[in-house]
Amino acid sequence: MTPDDARAPDTEPAGIQILPLRGAPEAQPGADLAAMALEAAATSAVSLRAGDILVVTQKVVSKAEGLLIDLKTIEPSDIALRYAQQWGRDPRQVEVVLRESARIVRMDRGLIIAQTRHGFVCANAGVDASNVPGEDVVCLLPRDPDGSAARLRAELARRTGLELAVIISDSFGRPWRQGIVNVALGVAGMAPLADYRGQPDDFGRVMNSSVLAVADEIASAAELATGKVDRTPFVVVRGYPYQRADGSGAQILMRSADDLFR
Amino acid sequence: MTPDDARAPDTEPAGIQILPLRGAPEAQPGADLAAMALEAAATSAVSLRAGDILVVTQKVVSKAEGLLIDLKTIEPSDIALRYAQQWGRDPRQVEVVLRESARIVRMDRGLIIAQTRHGFVCANAGVDASNVPGEDVVCLLPRDPDGSAARLRAELARRTGLELAVIISDSFGRPWRQGIVNVALGVAGMAPLADYRGQPDDFGRVMNSSVLAVADEIASAAELATGKVDRTPFVVVRGYPYQRADGSGAQILMRSADDLFR
């Protein structure tokens, strides 16, 4: 190894870092997410810094908030029974999906694409049977993901003295493209959209359609460090110069009824 | 500074890194993208490593491939003239959008959502007037983004001896969610989808709907390091354990006609 080789790791820029926090235990109802995140950070040798973004999966937030439903307690409605029978699905799970839906967008071939009460459009209104304990248990989305993110952020600030941003993420399908990607369900401490409208481009002209959903891009970046079958509910994204914002949340990532695509 | 503080940067894990390559010049038709990327890497003190993913914006690829259209050469059709007049748009630009489209998905309020000849669904069939030189010039999407990615990957391998992956990225809008995010238009050297179907979850059950569009998530992650108004067409994503694949490309990220969302 030459002196130049030895120096290389110090002189290379760090860029943006995506740091998975390993070793979190299974979350129980009432779990202290801030304590879990700080323990996982310690286990992973990651010292949180001011300006870090903590990305938390929806599943761990929902479990801590006790949003697990025992399907044995669910009485399916007639439509749930008929649809489940037609497509070989569990009528109790279809019933929970319908209860979580504000609007059915598509319902065909056993799938249900629904708009949730929050306004998200996703498969099964976010009702999910993977990575939950028990055969007859499903998990719901957090009732108020922006509120959950804000509470976690405040608790982390109280314990560490650090100003962080928090994003609660989930995997959503998209029209027109294969595969799911992680998006932001809840956001606290940062502006979810970066608005470049009105800024001149490289040639001095004003850009018209350049509002970037950076919270979704951060959620996607964090997913790369988790791996679906690893138990990694917490990821730190470090070095992204987000716009600090206290009152903002993921709610503004939902399109209004004037959505051309809808 | 205590000895512990001094040691911290060495003991913290690097995680996944997103490294912007600064200082690339404006690409001219016929430009050597591999040379541009390697020069920008040197300027940015980034030494490429085997397994790195080079994310390249569509705009620089299109410019190098000469896909700039001088609108003064375009004769608008009747429908382009009528639509442009109704909504205050440039009829020549509308004409180019129609020529690039295989199918119009929505056409209202001055906007055009179209499926391109490749199969991508996006605003204006990818025709873009931002960050191009000249008032009357628009930029088209690469004709074969997977081919462009494969050629760049092969040229980088020839010059550096390193096996890399290459992703060509662009910013697309999405139905139901505000803001644009970067997605993969072209992919070489890696599988664009990570398929977790059939793998057991944390509780030993098989996951059914877990195909992640990791190439799109990598494109989104890379965007965080560029900034829309900076001239940063190249970003290195380091430390993501992608599945190596030679014949695969972004084409498999397009949904077929059985898309429930369509």
What pLDDT is stored for residue B207 in this prediction? 58
**CA–CA dist B145, B254 (Å, integer):** 13
Say whether both B61 and B91 belong to one domain. Answer: no
CB-CB neighbours of A178 under 10 Å:
18
Which of the four pLDDT bands, split at 50, 70 and 90, describes residue A226?
confident
Taking the alpha carbons at both ends of chain A, their separation in whole angstroms is 59
Closest CA to A59 of A143, A169, A216: A169
Same domain, A121 and A229: no
- For B212, the closest of A15, A196, A223 (CB atoms) is A223
User: Searching chain A, which residue's CA lies closest to the CA of residue B231?
Assistant: A202
Give the A window 195-214 contacts with B, CB below 8 Å.
196, 199-203, 205, 207-214
pLDDT, tens digit (0-9, with 9 covering 90-100), for B122-157: 999 999 988 888 889 999 999 999 999 999 999 999
Could you tell me if B154 and B125 lie in one domain?
no
Residues B185 and B102 in one domain: no
Q: What is the mean pLDDT of residues B33-50?
A: 96
**Domain tally for chain B?**
2
pLDDT tens-place string over residues B52-87: 999 999 999 999 999 999 999 999 999 999 999 999
Q: Does pLDDT of A7 surpass 60?
A: no
Single-letter residue type at A213: A
Between B113 and B262, the higher pLDDT residue:
B113
Do B55 and B74 lie in a common domain?
no
* pLDDT attached to residue A8: 44
| The dihedral formed by the CA atoms of B69, B71, B74 and B77, expressed in degrees to the nearest 10 | 120
Give the Cα-Cα-Cα angle A152, A153, A157 (nearest 5 degrees).
115
Taking CB atoms and an 8 Å cutoff, what residues of chain A touch B132? 203
pLDDT, position B130: 83
pLDDT of residue A4 exceeding 60, the answer is no
Note the pLDDT of residue A170. Answer: 95
Confidence category of residue A34, pLDDT binned at 50, 70, 90: very high
pLDDT in tens, A62-111: 999 999 999 999 999 999 999 999 999 999 999 999 999 999 988 988 88
pLDDT(B227) > 80 = no
**How far is C-alpha A78 from the chain's CA centre?**
33
- Residue-wise pLDDT for A109-166, tens only, equals 888 999 999 999 999 999 998 888 888 999 999 999 999 999 999 999 999 999 999 9
Predicted TM-score (pTM) of this structure:
0.92
Q: Which residue has the tokens 């962080």?
A: A164
Residues B78 and B112 occupy one common structural domain: yes
Token pair 């959903």 is at which residue?
A: A213
Q: Are residues A22 and A126 in the same domain?
A: no
Domain that holds residue B48: 17-67+142-253
Mean pLDDT of B3-24: 71
Q: What pLDDT score does A6 carry? A: 38
Listed residue (B121, B100, B120, B124) closest to B110, CA to CA: B124
CATH number assigned to the domain comprising residue A221? 3.30.1330.100
Query: Residue B94 has what pLDDT?
Result: 97
Q: What is the mean pLDDT of residues A187-193?
A: 97
Q: Position of tokens 């202290």? A: A32
Q: Report chain A residues whose CB lies below 8 A from the CB of B27.
A: none
In a domain, A9, yes or no: no
Touching A: B residues 45-104, CB under 8 Å: 45-47
Q: Which residues from chain A sit within 8 angstroms of residue B46, using beta carbons?
A: 12-13
A116, A138, A160: which is the final residue of a domain?
Answer: A138
Q: Is residue B214 part of a domain?
A: yes
pLDDT at A2: 38
A5 assigned to some structural domain: no
Q: Are residues A155 and A199 in the same domain?
A: yes
Give contacts of B16 with chain A, Cβ < 8 Å: 17-18, 221, 224-225
Same domain, residue pair B32 and B160:
yes
> Domain ends where: A108, A138, A168?
A138
Q: What CATH number did the domain enclosing A119 receive?
A: 3.90.1660.10
Q: Which run of H or of E encompasses B165?
A: strand B165-174
Partner-chain contact A176 B121, CB within 8 Å: yes
Evaluate whether residue B224 is within a structural domain.
yes
Q: What percent of chain A has pLDDT over 90?
A: 72
